[in-house]
Amino acid sequence: MARPTPRSTARKLETPSTAQDTRRLLAKALAKAAADYQNAAVIPHCTQCTKPCCKLESLVLELEWKPVKLLWRIEESRHAFDRRLATGQGPEEIRAGNGLYYIHGKACPAYDETQGSCRIYGQPLKPPGCSDFPVYEDEGGIMADLRCEAVDLDALVAWIARALGPGFRIVKSADEEFPFLVTLSVRKVSGKPSRTSAHK
Ligand code: SF4
Ligand code: SF4
């Protein structure tokens, strides 16, 4: 499959007045590049995915009370629901902790298994974590979750490098504990701008 390529956003990085501006512009360019990559390479694959993340078989969905209440159509109070969970009578896929709810082992109620899509796509109720998955900007770098089969790491590195333009290089590093989580760090090339390159 031919991969679309991003238009360079380097022009936006050329005129920062302070280091803070540089970081802000870089983060903005990375967030856009990540969103563009998702739109071009990930989302079109979702309906044919063999391991949909929304089935929550390997991923855990983290939610606050409001989306839990709405998605599971809970009518009782939070206190009553928490008590039900604590006594093992709540939805077995939901665990409570740290003021949040963790869902695992059963498909998200917003997942349309027939269509292979999210019923609340583009709506405010859709959790930010879902929109971020599997590629998002984080503290001036890019986080990529390789549990998504649509992510091609080399293609993603090339995509980000192209989006930033010459003057930057991308460095890959996998999380030691969770090697499917890969950070793409951005390094400024000192001196005369050179062709952007990717390193393991
Ligand atoms: S794992 Fe990736 S390709 Fe599969 S449904 Fe989730 S985002 Fe889409
Ligand atoms: S809210 Fe939508 S994107 Fe998020 S897990 Fe549920 S179905 Fe998937």
Assign 3 a pLDDT band (cuts: 50, 70, 90).
very low
**Torsion angles phi and psi, residue 187, rounded to 5:** -115, 135
Is pLDDT above 50 for 195?
A: no
pTM: 0.83
Tell me which DSSP letter residue 129 carries.
H
- What are the structural domain ranges in the chain? 12-47+132-199, 60-103
Q: What is the dihedral of CA 161, 165, 167, 173, to 10 degrees?
A: -10
Tell how far the Cα of 4 is from the centroid of ligand 1, in angstroms. Answer: 18
Check if 130 has its Cβ closer than 6 Å to any atom of ligand 2.
yes
- Mean of per-residue pLDDT scores for the chain: 88
For the chain, what is the largest distance between any 2 Cα atoms, rounded to a whole number of angstroms? 65
> Which of ligand 1's atoms lies nearest the C-alpha of 147?
1
H/E stretch holding 136: strand 135-138
Ligand 1 site-directed mutation target among 37, 39, 46, most atoms within 8 Å of CB:
46
